[in-house]
Structure 1
Amino acid sequence: MVDIINFVALSGIFNVLFFWYASTKMKSKADPIKTFIVSFVFSVPLSLLLIGVYTTMLVYAVKHGLSEDAMWEYMEQEELQ
């Protein structure tokens, strides 16, 4: 669970920094604070999507009596097929 929280946090931080950096490279200079707010708003749905997928996976695992590691293995096998 800590891994997914770290991943969501890092992806959000990367998204915010990327938008902020991209705003400095535009011909018409955008306000850094407005850019920060827009990038933060865009990172929220991504974070919620990741949390939703992970929560769904854990609920499915608990329902079928599996562990988190077993679910990751199952997902990797499905991905390879």
Structure 2
Amino acid sequence: MLDIINFIALSGVFNVLFFWYASTKMKSKADPIKTLIVSFVFSIPLTLLLIGVYTTMLVYAIKTGASEDAMWEYMEQEELQ
């Protein structure tokens, strides 16, 4: 669980920093504060999607009696097929 929280936090930080950096490189200079707000708005759907996928996986694991590691392995096997 801690891994997914760290991933969400890192992706949010990266998104904020990317938008802020991109705003400094544009020909028409954007307001950094507005850009920061836009980056937070774009981070929200990503965060909700990751939380939804992880929660769904854990609920399915509880119903089938599998561990979290077994569910990750199952998802990787499904990706390979």
TM-score category, normalised to shorter length = over 0.9
Cα drift, residue 75 of structure 1:
0.5
In structure 1, C-alpha distance between the alignment counterparts of 2:73 and 2:13, rounded to whole Å: 28
Task: Give 1:75's aligned residue.
Answer: 75
* Counterpart code for 1:36: L
Q: Tell whether 2:47 aligns with 1:47.
A: yes
Structure showing greater relative contact order (alpha-carbon pairs closer than 8 Å, 6 or more residues apart):
1
Structure 2: state its 5+ residue gaps. Answer: none
Cα drift, residue 64 of structure 1:
0.5
In structure 2, C-alpha distance between the alignment counterparts of 1:49 and 1:77, rounded to whole Å: 21
- Fraction of identical pairs, as percent: 89
Task: Give 2:60's aligned residue.
Answer: 60
Structure 1 runs (4+) deviating above 6 angstroms are none
In structure 1, C-alpha distance between the alignment counterparts of 2:2 and 2:23, rounded to whole Å: 32
Superposed CA deviations along residues 15-42 of structure 1, whole A, max 9, x for unmatched, are 0000000000100000000000000110
* TM-score normalised by structure 1 residue count: 0.98
* TM-score normalised by structure 2 residue count: 0.98
In structure 2, C-alpha distance between the alignment counterparts of 1:78 and 1:40, rounded to whole Å: 32
In structure 2, C-alpha distance between the alignment counterparts of 1:76 and 1:44, rounded to whole Å: 26
Number of corresponding residues: 81
In structure 2, C-alpha distance between the alignment counterparts of 1:72 and 1:54, rounded to whole Å: 10
* Counterpart code for 1:27: K
